[in-house]
């Protein structure tokens, strides 16, 4: 018997069946050093994100948990800070297609780079979808205006 989750707007996701559960929202980080994890953790704590310890995502540990929990597949996403890190993270997940689906990250602050990454991920990595995110501008008025705005060329109609 399959379990179905309705997400609204007619979207449905099959969560389970004879082959196991599907986790449609999970995060990861490509391999990092202890020093990189500690620096990232300290930066997060400076911004009042009170994680008790540096996050260390490991492929083997994640697969072990998935096996114990009956999870057959996970869709992974992340929010890298640079275009090079974004491409590296997309490549990392795509190299493990048996258990992980790729919600490819896009550089939403650069429309041309985003289009190039869409094409690359579709043609080369065979992604399952895209994780489209944006960061709120850090303006003193706190407007929450999205910094990743794509302006339409007025001549294009």
Domain that holds residue 96: 3-156
Answer positive or negative: Cα dihedral of 37, 42, 43, 47.
positive
**CB–CB of 21/70 below 8 Å?**
yes
pTM of the model: 0.65
In tens digits, the chain (157 residues) has pLDDT values of 444 444 444 444 445 554 688 888 888 888 888 998 888 888 878 887 777 888 788 889 999 999 998 899 898 888 787 889 889 989 988 888 889 998 898 888 888 999 999 999 999 999 888 887 655 444 444 444 444 333 333 334 4
Q: What is the CATH number of the domain that holds 52?
A: 3.20.20.140
Count of structural domains, the chain: 1
Q: Determine the Cα–Cα distance for residues 151 and 153; give it in Å rounded to an integer.
A: 6
């Amino acid at each position: 018997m399959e379990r179905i989750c309705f997400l609204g707007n007619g979207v449905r996701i099959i969560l389970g069946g004879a082959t196991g559960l599907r986790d449609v929202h999970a995060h990861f980080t490509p391999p990092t050093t202890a020093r990189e994890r500690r620096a990232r953790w300290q930066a997060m704590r400076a911004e009042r994100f009170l994680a008790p310890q540096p996050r260390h995502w490991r492929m083997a540990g994640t697969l072990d948990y998935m096996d114990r929990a009956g999870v057959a597949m996970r869709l992974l996403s992340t929010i890298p800070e640079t275009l090079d890190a974004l491409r590296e993270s997309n490549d990392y997940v795509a190299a493990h297609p048996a258990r992980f689906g790729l919600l490819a990250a896009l550089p939403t602050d650069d429309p041309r780079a985003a289009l190039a990454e869409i094409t690359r991920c579709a043609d080369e990595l065979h992604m399952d979808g895209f994780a489209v995110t944006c960061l709120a501008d850090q303006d003193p008025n706190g407007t929450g205006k999205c910094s990743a705005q794509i302006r339409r060329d007025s001549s294009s109609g």
